[in-house]
Each structure stands twice: as structure tokens, then as C-alpha cells.
Amino acid sequence: MDTFALVVTIAVALFFTYTNGFHDSANAIATSVSTRALTPRAALAMAAVMNLAGAFLGSGVAKTVSEGLIATPTGDQGMMILFAGLVGAIAWNMVTWYYGLPSSSSHALFGGLVGAALAGASTVHWDGVLEKIVIPMVLSPIVGLVLGYFVMVIILWIFRDANPHKAKRGFRIAQTVSAAGMALGHGLQDAQKTMGVVVMALVIGGVEDEGDAIPVWVKISCAAMLSLGTYAGGWRIMRTLGRRIIELDPPQGFAAETTAAGVMYTASFMFQAPISTTHVITSAIMGVGATKRVSAVRWGVAKNIILGWFITMPAAGGVAAGSYWIVNLAFG
């Protein structure tokens, strides 16, 4: 029964990674597709490959997820907590995907883990949640917004005398690079989050010891599922990011993607903080759009997206807590 529970939990974790891929694929490619720098299928294929590569660039984020948010629970109850946390995250991913709302898969996962841990009377590292989740959740969109604005201002100043048509053609080509950088950062961030959960399951199941290196098969499995999910696409969310916030042109798309990629690499390598790719690219798009004129950004759509950010963790946590009570009632 213990082995069966471990296999099921890992399978659910990998399914979460798949939903993360098709939910967040829009983050990496919506701007490139909306500006016609890339065709949708070419963009998705490129994002899938770069997600796969990004998963092997580090393990700091995975360590934060597996050790820094909740105390690793033990035994059957521990596996139930992990399972319920994943169910909460998947449920919220599916709801927000259905409504085309670019919420954060990352924060759905964190909310699910914390909600299930509280329901199961397990220890939550509130200092870790505050330092690694809440503060980056607030700061990263602000940084993305401000940097996006200034990167776009610099681009406008540098190319102020350039031929507009030639400049746009050049930025369409440049967007293939910036979109690839964005997808690489997505793999670096999001594949590692699931690696952390799978490692936690292996520790609970007695297969690995806490602090051990991440097994290669875990890296490959998580990276592959994220890539498969990415290639499946997330057309509803892509439409929201690419068109409904602001009508983007190639220079704006390049500025937004470059800004978001830079923020993700900094958070991963310098702070080992699992930030949301959704938050960063959305805020960068808003900052870039505001350089045209503040009214160019459809702030009503932006407001709904931001509201989704703040309700993601408690909503996923609530579903996870309910899932834990049901599973505990059935198998406890």
C-alpha cells in the first residue's frame, strides 16, 4: 500500500506538471504569437524544447519547495498531505484555464501544500512562506512593471530615428531569442517546483533521504511532462496575455519578454525564490504598454488578473484542505 501511494502521488505530481505546461505555455509565447514573430505551433515547439533545457540548469528552487515551505510529513498521513496539496493545485489550474485567467500554477501549488499541511496538522514554515513566496509574489510584479517600462523607454530612445518598418522586422527576429529566453526561464522555475514535490514524496516513502541530490530520472520526468504540457498549448490564456491587456507590437513584445526572463533568472540563481512566470510577464506587458500611454493598457482586464493572483493561494489551499479530509476519511 505504501508503494502504491508513492506511485500514485508521483503520478499526480507529474500530471500537475503537465497542467502547468499547458496552463503557462502562454507566458513564454503569447507575445511572440500576437506580434506574429512566430507561428503558434513553432512557438509552442520552441517553448517545449527550451522548457526541457531549463529544467537542468539548477536545483535551488526545487530545494526551496521540498524543504523550505512545510516540514516534510511522514508516513501515510504525509503522503495524503502531499496528494491533497497536488489535487488542490490541479483543480485551481483547471478552473483558471477554463476561464482563460492567467493565474499562477506556482502559487496554486504552494497554496495547495500549505492548505493540506494545515488540514493535516503538519508544520508550516511560515518564515519560509513569507520570505520565499509572499515577498517575491509582491515584489516580482512590481519589478517586472517598472523594468518593463524602462526597458521600453530605452528601446524607444535608441531607435527614435530608425525606420519603423525595418525596426519592427528586426524586433520580430529578436523576439525569437527573447521568447526562447523566457521559455528557458520557465523551465528553470516551474520544472524545479515539481521536482521538489517528487523529492518530498520519495523522502516520505523512505526511498530518498532529505538533502540528497535530485535523482536524474526525476529531472527528466518533470522536464518531459512540462514540455509535453507546453506543446499541448494554452490558447485561452494566450489570448488574454497576447491581446486583451494591450495590442502588442514586436518592440513591445521583445521588451516584455526580455524583462520577464531577466527577473526569472535573477530570482532562480541569486535568491532561489520560486516566483511566478505569470506574474512577471503580465506585469512586464503592463509596464511596456504604459510607455505608449497609460490608457493604452486595459486596466479592467489587468485588475481581474491581479485579483486572480491574490485568491490563488487561499483558493487552492481550501480545495487541498477539503481533499485531505476526504482522503483521510476514506483511507485514514
Map out the domains of the chain as residue ranges: 3-317
The pLDDT value given to residue 40: 78
Of the pLDDT bands very low, low, confident and very high (cuts 50, 70, 90), residue 263 is: very high
Q: pLDDT tens, 4-52? A: 889 999 999 999 999 888 777 666 677 787 778 888 778 888 888 888 8
Of 105 and 266, the structure prediction assigns the larger pLDDT to: 266
Average pLDDT on 55-62 reads: 84
The pLDDT value given to residue 138: 84
Does residue 61 contact residue 192 with C-beta atoms inside 8 Å? Answer: yes
pLDDT for 243 beyond 60: no
The pLDDT value given to residue 136: 87
The pLDDT value given to residue 61: 86
Q: Name the β-bridge partners of 34.
A: none
Query: Could you give the 3-state DSSP secondary structure of residue 232?
Result: helix
Does residue 115 contact residue 321 with C-beta atoms inside 8 Å? Answer: yes
> How many beta carbons lie within 10 A of that of residue 99, not counting itself?
13
Does residue 109 contact residue 129 with C-beta atoms inside 8 Å? Answer: no
pLDDT for 1 beyond 60: no
Q: pLDDT tens, 89-123? A: 999 888 887 877 767 888 899 999 999 999 998 99
Average pLDDT on 266-290 reads: 86
Average pLDDT on 283-309 reads: 76
Single pTM value for the model: 0.86
Does residue 294 contact residue 286 with C-beta atoms inside 8 Å? Answer: no
Q: Which residues of 135-146 are buried (b: 16+ CB within 10 A; e: fewer)?
A: ebbeebbebbbe
Does residue 264 contact residue 58 with C-beta atoms inside 8 Å? Answer: no
Q: pLDDT tens, 128-148? A: 899 888 888 888 888 999 999
